[in-house]
Amino acid sequence: MNAVMPLADGRLRDRLGRPLHDLRISVIETCNFRCPYCMPEGKAGPSVRGDRRTRLDFAQIERLVRAFVSLGVRKLRLTGGEPLLRRDLPALVARLAAIPGVEDLALTTNGSLLAGQARALREAGLHRITLSLDSLDPEGFRLLAGGRGELAEVLAGLAAAEAAGFAPIKINCVVQRGINEDQVLPLAERFRGSGHVLRFIEYMDVGTCNGWRPQDVVPSAELRDRIAARWPLRPLAPVYRGEVASRYAYADGAGELGFVSSVSEPFCGDCHRARLSADGRLFTCLFAREGTSLRPQPDEDEAALAARIAEVWTARADRYSELRGKAGKDRKKIEMFYIGG
């Protein structure tokens, strides 16, 4: 395989000119929740049980991350499934935090196990936490977690993360029409002035088991207008090109919130994220049908791994959200719990 050739600006780019900058790493494909938009009870198939024998070990993950960093990746996010189910996760965090070139190391979690691990994660070198929270109503929350989650546990996890020094924490809410849209204002009120950043995410057609329908999407513009009618907002400029969320500040200075609008306002043109599954497959789009195995061979060095990654990325032309509806109604896609959100 040919060596990776650096480009004029030193960054690896795909066929649409998008650089490789972020890597999302699924450390486990299992979850203790059964959220209907991700891993609905009884519909996700036998793979939800996972197979620890096929998962990359920490040494393999570190080798791959070093190769990704050599190609320009600067931001890492640990996902799942539920990543806190992966045993000794702080040990992996410490290994990744020590890699030269890693500027941002984050974790996305449902928060149910965070109270017991927040301090260790912080001490290991984790920079940021994103917490999923779809309702502040205990019964509604339990329903949205597939009957397996308790709101009190998640709020305890949030408090533990705050005490450990994580700030700001991002709070993600996936909004579904007729399911939890009544929680938008309560969530906004709860996190106004908290120092944290609430983000509302449009319900997406990730995978094929969640029964997604366009009419179940609440467009971000509708949510923004609903919030602004109560608390006026002003738009904020993106922090960097390719930022997923559109950012707004409360006019009264009570902080900011964001909107992720993959359905109503696709942002494929600036997408610079790659995804690594727990069993070592590289996916170049959240809506991909299949991935490419990157499992390191025993005698494979960093340069060889980087060359394999570069071969996949430079051939990438994914822009599913921009083409949604044109790719065929029955188009199969990988499930979100397999590669993370």
More confident residue, 148 or 341: 148
Q: Specify the CATH superfamily of domain 22-339.
A: Aldolase class I (3.20.20.70)
Q: Would you say residue 325 has pLDDT above 70?
A: no
Cα angle: 151, vertex 154, 159; to 5 degrees: 125
Per-residue model confidence (pLDDT) at position 6: 45
Structure token pair of residue 305: 């791994």
Within 13 A of 203's CA, how many CA atoms are on the CB side?
A: 22
Structure token pair of residue 123: 């001490």
Helix (H) or strand (E) holding 121: helix 118-124
- pLDDT tens per residue, range 300-320: 999 999 999 999 999 999 887
Q: Is 320 helix (H, G, I), strand (E, B) or coil?
A: helix
Size of the chain, expressed as the number of residues it contains? 341
- pLDDT tens per residue, range 248-281: 999 999 999 999 998 988 878 889 999 999 999 9
Domain extents for the chain? Answer: 22-339
Per-residue model confidence (pLDDT) at position 33: 93
Per-residue model confidence (pLDDT) at position 10: 63
Per-residue model confidence (pLDDT) at position 211: 81
Per-residue model confidence (pLDDT) at position 1: 40
- pLDDT tens per residue, range 1-50: 444 444 545 679 999 999 999 999 999 999 999 988 888 887 665 444 55
Query: Which range among 32-41, 215-224, 231-240, 269-278 shows the weakest confidence by mean pLDDT?
Result: 32-41
Per-residue model confidence (pLDDT) at position 2: 41
- Between CA 188 and CA 167 the distance in angstroms is 17
Crossing angle of helices 58-70 and 302-314, in 10° steps, is 60
Q: Is 276 helix (H, G, I), strand (E, B) or coil?
A: strand
Whole-structure pTM value:
0.92
How is the beta sheet containing 246-250 ordered, strand by strand?
233-235, 246-250, 256-260, 197-202, 170-175, 128-132, 104-109, 75-79, 22-26, 273-276, 281-283, 292-293
Q: Would you say residue 326 has pLDDT above 70?
A: no
Per-residue model confidence (pLDDT) at position 45: 55
Helix (H) or strand (E) holding 132: strand 128-132
- Between CA 120 and CA 127 the distance in angstroms is 12
- pLDDT tens per residue, range 109-155: 999 999 999 999 999 999 999 999 999 999 999 999 999 989 999 99
Q: Is 173 helix (H, G, I), strand (E, B) or coil?
A: strand
Q: Would you say residue 161 has pLDDT above 90?
A: yes
Q: Would you say residue 89 has pLDDT above 60?
A: yes
Per-residue model confidence (pLDDT) at position 332: 73
Q: What is the mean pLDDT of residues 281-302?
A: 92
Per-residue model confidence (pLDDT) at position 8: 46
